[in-house]
Amino acid sequence: MQNEKVERIKYLVEALNRAAKAYYAEDREIMSNYEYDALYDELQTLEQETGMVLADSPTVNVGYEAVEELPKERHESPMLSLGKTKSREELRDWLQGNPAILSWKLDGLTIVLTYIDGKLAKAVTRGNGEIGEVITNNARTFKNLPLSIPFAGQLVLRGEAVISYSDFEKINESIEDAEAKYKNPRNLCSGSVRQLNNEITARRNVQFYAFSLVNAEGADFHNSRQEQFTFLKEQGFQVVEHYLVTEDNILETVEHFEKKIDGYDIPSDGLVLTYEDIAYGQSLGRTAKFPRHSIAFKWADELRETTLKEIEWSASRTGLINPVAIFEPVELEGTTVSRASVHNISILRALKLGIGDHITVYKANMIIPQIAENLTGSDTLEIPKNCPVCGGETEIRQVNEVQTLYCVNPKCPAKQIKAFSLFVSRDAMNIDGLSEATLEKLVDMGFIQEYADLFHLGQYKEQIAKMEGFGEKSCQNLLDSIDRARETTLPRLIYGLGIENIGVANAKMLCRYFDYDLEKMCHADVETLSAVEGVGEVIATAFVEYMQNPDNIEKMEKLLPQLHIEIPKVEEGSQTLKDLSFVVTGSLNHFASRNDLKDLIEQRGGKVTGSVTSKTTCLINNDISSSSSKNKKAKELGVPILSEEDFLRQYDIPMGE
């Protein structure tokens, strides 16, 4: 029996760590919050029963390692997770007669801010609790964050970067490709805050809510958390909604928050309770993982039992077919729910679903419908061998331990509509007036069968003007937009073709590498493409396979005469960095992002790589004394480390360029 428990512990540790890596480091979900919490609780119980705790158990480790793209920095004091409860009575008993502050537990990305002499000096993500990522430039774009404050001493505080549900919905509405839409505000926020280009962060309307003051040099708060919150508000920070509670009013205050959650625009996954008496809270110390001055309250998921009626299979542009569970309608958190995404084949199989099974459903964070558990577990559901749209064959593919279903028919109508939708999107041909619904009508009427046909729609002007939702004016607007789209760039064309794994950034990178020569690109082999920085064998293979497909070649031959592709002009004598290789790291002062500096270097003929080697001309890092891995490597190899100013000065580049 003990051996079985030990093996179960090993399995749970591995599964939970894998889920944490996906969630924190890769911004994707491989299991629901409900499942994670259940497995975590089971692990804790088994560890208590056996007395065995593995070194990498999530019950003793916090978070996941920060990714490599941003500079890392160690926090002055560890950022621990909080102990949690779903019991309101346990929350009240935790007070032990002491007053405390009850506030929202927001669901975004935790940030530590440092202000010096009244100016924002540094912003660092939570990371793994010990080491975070420096995102100072991005934090400067948070729409409600003060860059200057009245307090002149050193101030360190913590808070949550979040994206509201309303902004999340607006951003998703602007994304035409269903596969590219974000799953939830937390993932969108995490990706936005950790961008290398802070222009992207700025467009995402990230907000910051302060929830804890770490240190305010020389300030006296009379041992009161409440006074700390008041102080932060006086400095111009938005703080989390909070109330002073005692054993007498804590339950009604929890109820107050509960009534607000349904219409609350800021993502929240519970509440936080912190002792009002700062010294008392600090005197309690900490466990290996949790501080004792605070505890988190997570909403007990409202579960409803229902019956699975069917699985709807939804096809997309790349052929990905996602399962969606349709069940008998139930009331959840005040709304009627009858469907929930099952995400992929791996999750579907783990739930052992079958039509007619009794399942329990809930809303993750009281918002997103999910299946919690399959009470029947018949495991009788068959994975379709044929695409629900075209009837073509399907296949199961496995990437990063996740199995997904694909339609392999290249002429599947679902792929066709989605492909046209991407082709006319803003970052591709940028043709206004062609929604998926309109494209579907045009395909059904036989007006468009391939990309080139879009540029011949003028011959169907009368018929289009009579289509539902159109008139003569809107039809003419569409045709004008199509004419404007003829003037385009090679990166827009390459992205618009919808080649697997080729996004906007990859398209630009490939075009620069091949000097905007489409002929060279089309005839490049996998080995040549794999050598391009940031491409790799997977992307290279997909690109070559696309360019060698006779159908694709024929489509491009018909499309290219319809376009005028602008080739960037390279001024004589401007290639001052030709054949030189650079690495850029750390925060920048004169450039909005590393991509801006990278573009400048590439425009002058230079190359920017991700790692320091003996072939690197110099490492550009404003923190020359940093002990980062790139700095160490540069010193080992004798590669010069230059600040931005030194780099611009040495290579005679005007500061404002």
Write the DSSP string, 504-516. Answer: HHHHHHHHHHTTT
Phi and psi angles of residue 351, each rounded to the nearest 5 degrees, phi first: -80, -10
Q: Give the span between the Cα atoms of 559 and 538, in whole angstroms.
A: 26
The confidence score (pLDDT) of residue 177 equals 54
Beta bridge partners of 306: 359
Regarding predicted confidence, which is higher, 216 or 602?
216
Query: What residues contact residue 32 under an 8 Å CB cut-off, 6+ apart?
Result: 364, 370, 371, 372
Instruction: Give the pLDDT confidence of 222-257 residue by residue, as tens digits.
Output: 999 999 999 998 888 999 999 999 999 999 999 999
Q: How confident is the model at residue 500 (pLDDT cuts 50, 70, 90)?
A: confident
pTM, rounded to two decimals: 0.51
Question: Residue 597's pLDDT is what?
Answer: 86
Q: Taking each helix axis from N to C terminus, what angle separates 536-548 and 550-559, rounded to the nearest 10 degrees?
A: 70
Annotation marks residue 105 as catalytic: yes
How far is residue 546's CA from residue 556's CA, in Å, rounded to a whole number? 11
Cα distance from N-terminal residue to C-terminal residue, the chain: 70
DSSP string, 184-201: -HHHHHHHHHT-SBHHHH
Residue 645 has pLDDT above 80, yes or no: yes
Structure tokens at 218: 């020389």
Quickly state the pLDDT bin for 64 (edges 50, 70, 90). very low
DSSP string, 59-114: TTS-S-PPPTTS-EEE-SS------EE--HHHHHHHTTT--EEEEEEE-SEEEEEE
Query: What is the model's pLDDT at position 369?
Result: 85
DSSP assigned state of 370: E
- Quick one: tokens of 97? 């007669």
At 311 the three-state DSSP class reads strand
Query: HSE-up of 318 (CA within 13 Å, CB side)?
Result: 15
DSSP state of 286: B
Reduced DSSP (H G I as helix, E B as strand, rest coil) percent helix, strand, coil of the chain, to 5: 35, 25, 40
Consecutive H or E run containing 269: strand 268-275
Q: Are 217 and 153 in contact (CB under 8 A)?
A: yes
* CA 479 – CA 85 distance, rounded (Å): 60
**38 falls in which pLDDT band (50, 70, 90)?**
confident
Average pLDDT over residues 507-535: 83
Q: Is the pLDDT of residue 554 over 70?
A: yes
Please state the length of the chain. 657
| Alpha carbons 539 and 30: distance in angstroms, whole number | 23
d(Cα 363, Cα 302) in Å, to the nearest integer?
7
**Residue 296: CA count within 13 A, CB half-sphere:** 16
Among 234-243, 485-494, 573-582, 615-624, the minimum mean pLDDT is found in 573-582
Active-site residue (options: 72, 105, 418, 630): 105
Indicate the SS3 state at residue 365. coil
Question: What is the chain's Cα-based Rg?
Answer: 28
Rounded to 5 degrees, what are φ and ψ at 361?
Answer: -125, 155
- Between strands 402-407 and 320-332, the pairing is antiparallel
Structure tokens given for 494 = 């390459």
- Inter-residue contact 406 to 321 (CB < 8 Å): yes
| CB-CB neighbours of 9 under 10 Å | 20
pLDDT tens for 97-156 read 999 999 999 989 999 999 999 889 999 998 877 888 899 888 988 988 888 888 989 999
- How far apart CA 26 and CA 313 sit, in angstroms, is 26
Q: Which of 169-178, 224-233, 345-354, 432-441 has the lowest mean pLDDT?
A: 169-178
The crossing angle, in degrees rounded to 10, of helices 165-173 and 185-193 is 80
Strand partners, 363: 369
* Cα separation, 599 vs 596, whole angstroms: 5
CB 621 within 8 A of CB 630: yes
CA atoms within 13 A on the CB side of 463: 11
**Mean pLDDT over all residues of the chain?**
85
600 has a pLDDT exceeding 50: yes
Closest CA to 300 of 502, 37, 98, 603: 37
For residue 22, give the DSSP letter.
Answer: I
Alpha-carbon separation of residue 39 from 20, 36, 187, 376 (angstroms):
12, 5, 22, 20
pLDDT computed for residue 412 by the predictor = 81
Query: What share of the chain has pLDDT > 90, as a percent?
Result: 32
CA atoms within 13 A on the CB side of 607: 19
User: Residue 61 pLDDT more than 60?
Assistant: no
